[in-house]
Amino acid sequence: MIDFHYQINPGRIIFGAGKLAQAKAEAEALGMRRVLVLSTPQQRPLAEDLAARLGDIAVGIYDQAVMHVPVETVADVMGVARKFEVDGCAAIGGGSTIGLAKAIALETDLPILAIPTTYAGSEMTPVWGLTRDGLKTTGRDTRVLPKTVIYDPELTLELPDFISGPSGMNAIAHCVEGLYSQSQNPVTSLMAEEGIRALAQSLPVVVRTPGDIEARAQALYGAWLAGTVLGTVGMAIHHKLCHTLGGSFNLPHAEVHTVVIPQATAFNQAHAPKAMAAIGRALGVKAEDAAPALFDLALSLGAPVALKDIGMKESDLEKAAGIATTNPYYNPRPVIRDDVLALLHQAYDGIRPS
C-alpha cells in the first residue's frame, strides 16, 4: 500500500544552455548587493567571468575551495566575507566549492546562488560537511540549501572525461540508493529512475565527445534529478561505505562512488526487488542484471572499477568494514560485518558482480 511522507526542499532552478547570463538577475532577486564569488583555484577564470557578469554587485572572488571543506579554509573565507561585508555567495564549481558556500551559510545564514559544474549534486541538498584534523563531520540544515541553482550545460563542456565519468556515476549512485531508501516515496523514485536513464544514456557520449552540448544537457538534467533525490530521501550502505572510504582513507570522492555502486547494488540485489526492477528499466536490462550493468557502464566510461586502483590498501579493508558497520545507515539487507568485508574485497579487486 502507498504510505509515505515527502518533504520538498525549497529552491528555484534555472536550467538551460547559456543560463549563466541570468546570474546577475537571479542574485538580485535574492536581495544580494554584495556578492562573494567562490571557486577552486583551477576554476578561477570561470569565477572571474561570473564576477564580470555580476558587475557592480560582485565585491570579491575567493578561489581557494578544496575537497572536503577544511575548517582552516572556512576561517580564511569568513575573514574575506567579513572584510567585504558580503550579503550572499555565488558558488561556481563542483561539490567542493558549493560545500564551502554551505559552510559560510551555516555560520552566517547568507543566501547561496549555486552554479554547479559537475554532477555531484550538493547544490540540491541541505547536507553540509566540515573537515577538522582530517576528520569529516556532516550534518543537515536547511539554511545551507542554495536558494537558487543555475544549471548551465555550457559550463560542463570543459569537464574532462576522467572527471565527467566518475562524477556521473556518483550521481547514479544517489539515484540507486534513493530507490531502496527507507524514506523513498513515489515521486523521488520516479526522479531516481529517470535520473539513471538520463545519465546512463548521456555519459558514454559525454566521455567520447565532451563538446556534445545535447549529451551534456542530458547528463546535467540527470545530475539535477540525482541531487534532488539525495537531498530528499535517506541513503544506505553504499553512501556509508563511500563516506568511510573517502573520510578515513582519503580516497577520491567520485571515483569511490564509481567503484562501490555496482558492488553495493549486488549486495542489495535480493532485498530490494522493486528498486532493481527500476534500475534495470533505466539501464535497459533485466532486474537481475542491474549490478553488472552498472559495472559495465563504469568500464565503458573508462572510469575505475577497483579500489586497488584508486589508492586503497588491502590491509585496510578490515578496518573499513569495521567503521562502516559501526552505526550503519538503514539498508534493505542487514548490514553484517563479514558480508560488508566480502563486498569490500570484491570492490578492491574490481570483480564484475554476477
- The residues that touch ligand NAD, with contacts defined as CB under 6 A, are 40, 42-43, 67-68, 93-97, 99, 117-118, 120-122, 125, 127, 129, 155-156, 158-159, 163, 167, 230, 253-254
Q: Taking the complex as a whole, how short is the minimal distance between the CB of residue 339 and ligand NAD, in angstroms? A: 25
Residue 317, C-alpha cell as written in the block: 579493508
Q: Minimal CB distance to ligand NAD: which residue? A: 95
Q: Check: CB of residue 160 under 8 Å from CB of residue 207.
A: no
Q: Taking the complex as a whole, how short is the minimal distance between the CB of residue 92 and ligand NAD, in angstroms? A: 9
Q: Taking the complex as a whole, how short is the minimal distance between the CB of residue 329 and ligand NAD, in angstroms? A: 14
For ligand NAD, the closer of residues 57 and 303 by Cβ is 303
Q: What DSSP letter does each residue of 93-115 carry, written as one string? A: ESHHHHHHHHHHHHHH---EEEE
State the angle between helix axes of 253-268 and 237-249 in degrees (0 to 180), rounded to the nearest 10.
Answer: 150
Q: Taking the complex as a whole, how short is the minimal distance between the CB of residue 91 and ligand NAD, in angstroms? A: 10
DSSP state of 180: T
C-alpha torsion 31→23→225→298, nearest 10: -140
Q: Taking the complex as a whole, how short is the minimal distance between the CB of residue 280 and ligand NAD, in angstroms? A: 25
For ligand NAD, the closer of residues 151 and 180 by Cβ is 151
Residue 333, C-alpha cell as written in the block: 539487507
For ligand NAD, the closer of residues 94 and 350 by Cβ is 94
For ligand NAD, the closer of residues 23 and 57 by Cβ is 23
Pairing of strands 112-116, 127-132: unpaired
Q: Degrees (nearest 5) of the Cα angle 292, 123, 151? A: 90
CA distances from 162 to 88, 235, 339 (A): 32, 25, 31
For ligand NAD, the closer of residues 57 and 90 by Cβ is 90
Q: Taking the complex as a whole, how short is the minimal distance between the CB of residue 246 and ligand NAD, in angstroms? A: 7
Q: CA-CA distance, 264 to 173, in Å (whole number)?
A: 9
For ligand NAD, the closer of residues 158 and 318 by Cβ is 158
